[in-house]
Protein backbone atom coordinates (compact mmCIF):
# COMPACT_ATOMS: atom_id res chain seq x y z
CA UNK A 1 0.00 0.00 0.00
CA UNK A 2 1.27 3.49 -0.89
CA UNK A 3 0.61 6.62 1.15
CA UNK A 4 -2.40 8.56 -0.12
CA UNK A 5 -0.80 11.83 0.91
CA UNK A 6 2.77 11.55 -0.37
CA UNK A 7 2.85 8.22 -2.31
CA UNK A 8 5.73 6.76 -0.31
CA UNK A 9 5.80 3.26 1.17
CA UNK A 10 3.76 2.29 4.21
CA UNK A 11 4.40 -0.39 6.84
CA UNK A 12 2.07 -2.50 8.97
CA UNK A 13 1.44 -1.12 12.43
CA UNK A 14 -1.28 -0.52 15.00
CA UNK A 15 -2.77 2.68 16.30
CA UNK A 16 -5.14 4.06 18.93
CA UNK A 17 -8.10 6.27 18.03
CA UNK A 18 -10.27 8.41 20.32
CA UNK A 19 -13.78 9.06 18.99
CA UNK A 20 -16.04 11.79 20.41
CA UNK A 21 -19.61 10.44 20.51
CA UNK A 22 -21.41 13.34 22.15
CA UNK A 23 -22.51 11.28 25.15
CA UNK A 24 -18.96 10.15 25.84
CA UNK A 25 -15.56 9.33 24.42
CA UNK A 26 -14.63 5.97 22.97
CA UNK A 27 -10.99 4.96 22.82
CA UNK A 28 -10.15 2.06 20.51
CA UNK A 29 -6.73 0.49 20.97
CA UNK A 30 -4.62 -1.82 18.79
CA UNK A 31 -6.29 -0.94 15.50
CA UNK A 32 -4.40 -2.57 12.60
CA UNK A 33 -3.24 0.07 10.13
CA UNK A 34 -0.56 1.04 7.63
CA UNK A 35 1.67 3.96 8.50
CA UNK A 36 3.61 6.04 6.02
CA UNK A 37 7.40 5.82 6.43
CA UNK A 38 7.74 9.50 5.53
CA UNK A 39 4.77 11.56 6.76
CA UNK A 40 3.18 9.21 9.36
CA UNK A 41 -0.20 9.33 7.63
CA UNK A 42 -2.33 6.42 8.88
CA UNK A 43 -4.30 4.21 6.47
CA UNK A 44 -6.99 1.69 7.35
CA UNK A 45 -8.09 -1.15 5.09
CA UNK A 46 -11.78 -1.42 4.11
CA UNK A 47 -12.33 -4.31 6.52
CA UNK A 48 -10.92 -2.32 9.43
CA UNK A 49 -13.01 0.75 8.57
CA UNK A 50 -16.16 -1.41 8.48
CA UNK A 51 -15.31 -2.99 11.82
CA UNK A 52 -14.60 0.43 13.35
CA UNK A 53 -18.01 1.67 12.20
CA UNK A 54 -19.65 -1.34 13.87
CA UNK A 55 -17.76 -0.78 17.12
CA UNK A 56 -18.64 2.93 17.09
CA UNK A 57 -22.32 2.36 16.35
CA UNK A 58 -22.52 -0.22 19.16
CA UNK A 59 -20.70 2.14 21.54
CA UNK A 60 -23.09 5.01 20.75
CA UNK A 61 -25.92 3.02 22.35
CA UNK A 62 -23.96 1.71 25.31
CA UNK A 63 -21.22 4.19 26.10
CA UNK A 64 -20.57 5.63 29.53
CA UNK A 65 -18.52 8.80 29.87
CA UNK A 66 -15.35 7.05 28.79
CA UNK A 67 -14.88 3.62 27.28
CA UNK A 68 -11.66 1.96 26.22
CA UNK A 69 -11.89 -1.10 23.97
CA UNK A 70 -9.35 -3.31 22.29
CA UNK A 71 -10.02 -3.61 18.54
CA UNK A 72 -9.36 -7.36 18.55
CA UNK A 73 -11.82 -8.05 21.37
CA UNK A 74 -14.49 -5.43 20.64
CA UNK A 75 -18.07 -6.65 20.15
ZN1 LIG B 1 3.07 9.81 3.39
Let me know if residue 3 belongs to a domain.
no
Let me know if residue 48 belongs to a domain.
yes
HEC sequence for the chain: CECCCCCCEEEEEEEEEEEECCCCEEEEEEEEEEEECCCCCEECCHHHHHHHHHHHHHHHHHCCCEEEEECCCCC
Ligand 1 center to residue 14 CA distance, Å? Answer: 16
Number of domains in the chain: 1
The dihedral built from the CA positions of residue 75, 22, 44 and 40, taken in this order, carries a sign that is negative
pLDDT tens-place string over residues 29-70: 999 999 999 999 999 999 999 999 999 999 999 888 999 999
Does the predicted TM-score (pTM) go above 0.85?
A: yes
pLDDT band, very low/low/confident/very high, at 75 (cuts 50, 70, 90)? low
Ligand 1 center to residue 30 CA distance, Å? Answer: 21
* Structural domain boundaries enclosing 55: 10-70
Ligand 1 center to residue 12 CA distance, Å? Answer: 14
Amino acid sequence: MKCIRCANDTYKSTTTEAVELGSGVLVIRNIPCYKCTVCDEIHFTGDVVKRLEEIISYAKQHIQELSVVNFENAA
